Amino acid sequence: MTRLWNVAVAKGYVTREQIEEARILRGFSPGRPLGEILVDEGFITREKLAELHEDPDVIPGGRIPEEVRRAQADPANRTDHFVRIRRLGRGGLGEVWLAYDLELSRYVAIKFPKKEHLAKFLDEALILARFDHPGIVPVHEIGPNYIVMAFIDGVPLEEAGLTLEEALEAVQQAARAVHHAHAHHVLHGDLKPGNILLRRDPAAPRGIRVTVVDFGISQGLVELNERLAEGACVGTPAYMAPELLRAGGPAIDHRCDLYSLGATLYTLLAGAPPFGSGQTSEVIARAAAEDPPALARLSPSIPPAVDAIVRKEMSRDPAKRSRDCEEFADSLEKILWADPRAGKRIAGWRIPLAIASAAMIGLALGYLPSAVGRNVPDAAATDVAAAPESRHLSEGRTHEKSGNLAQALEKYTQAIEANPSSGDARFERGVLYCVTGEYEKALEDLLAALRLAPDNMRIRPFLHYAVSKLAELGNRP
């Protein structure tokens, strides 16, 4: 929050939850002063608001970084309560900007899709917003024509200068993040060293944290198989699974991402992609017909167990790869604990001078039509002796996974009736209302969920989405 509202909270004039609710309601009238909304909603008196503006502790812009202050001088850089600082990337689908959130005093990355892609991006941003994993960039807000995400100031793996131990750690962290996406029925589709960012952090496992970025072409299995059947090329050839390159081959599944992770680790260990980075047709032909060269022949310092697992994940037969990304990550973790050579530097890599690289946020996420993208446990796995609320929630998620949205809604409603103070039940029903386009009901449930669970960061993007859709329709409950 800005200093003004921090002071307001400290003095007890208003609560953080009320400020957050006012920010959400402002979606109906972008640009309207937050204080005016707080007064209209009865959260603060006009007299207290006037006192705040005269308070000596409130210094307008007191902590705004200088680069933000300079950018703020140009009105063209303002988007609601964000100040655009510099463009981070531009592609066929839109632009990504580094920006500053004036209300929460933090840097963010904002994706501005092109007009013709806006509806698809906003709907699919809802899928990414449901992810709750430290290795996937979180969505902060979904506006009427933009998506706000965390700004990741990291280095692409290929530029990080990694030891063998660090390479194994980085890829196993990435694999666990991708497994989380798979559990939500979403494939990445373009995993490679450039789409995995690394930050040095002494408090993190082995001193590094990685974030998987650029879900720009990710999609569900049905959509991906349809695109392949039409002859589309999906991904980066040097890291694409062979089944993605074979016309008329068997239907693909999540194991194509496993292959890409294996190829990513191979590149980090060998210093070059497994089949080179020359002409696309050459790379595709080799990947479809050959196994990758043995890492042991390229560097005797690479443990045989590492070579074996990389070759396993890069098998041309998907059935010979790991069962899922979690199993792959577990295998890498075992090697890290077991092999004393894992701390050696590999392939002549050097740690470069300070490199700052922002996440190029692509959001063209997709999902299976039979699910709305949440990790949904089977009802059979739920303890029959569980509380009614938990049982109803589990059954509702199972119905939602199967596409039975009416039954899912009924179960979520029963969960709320069983426990009116359940933030989880309110959240689940609110998300489902977003999916079905009942935005007024969604807003009511999501606001209730926020009051019940103010620390649940997954609620806010859906609130902003519901408000933006209601504003677009000219409605307000």
Polymer length in residues for the chain: 477
CB-side exposure of 270: number of CA atoms within 13 Å? 22
For residues 387 and 392, give the distance between their C-alpha atoms in angstroms, rounded to a whole number: 9
Count CB-CB contacts under 10 A for residue 87. Answer: 11
Tokens representing residue 357 in the block:
């690289």
For residues 331 and 295, give the distance between their C-alpha atoms in angstroms, rounded to a whole number: 17
Tokens representing residue 7 in the block:
């002071």
Active-site pick, 101, 190, 324, 445: 190
3-state helix, strand, coil in the chain (%, to 5): 50, 10, 40
Distance of CA 266 to the CA centre of its chain: 25
**Residue showing tokens 């500053």:** 100
Q: Determine the residue type at 454.
A: P
Distance of CA 208 to the CA centre of its chain: 19
> Is 190 marked active-site?
yes
Dihedral sign computed on CA atoms, order 188, 463, 375, 179: positive
Q: Residue 141 phi/psi, 5° resolution?
A: -160, 145
Closest CA relative to residue 277, chosen from 263, 291, 258? 263
> Using an 8 Å Cβ cutoff, are 113 and 127 in contact?
no
CA distances from residue 309 to 214, 266, 286, 320 in whole angstroms, order as listed:
26, 10, 20, 11
For residues 195 and 185, give the distance between their C-alpha atoms in angstroms, rounded to a whole number: 20
> Using an 8 Å Cβ cutoff, are 323 and 359 in contact?
no
Q: Determine the residue type at 129.
A: A
> Using an 8 Å Cβ cutoff, are 404 and 385 in contact?
no
Please identify every residue annotated as catalytic: 190
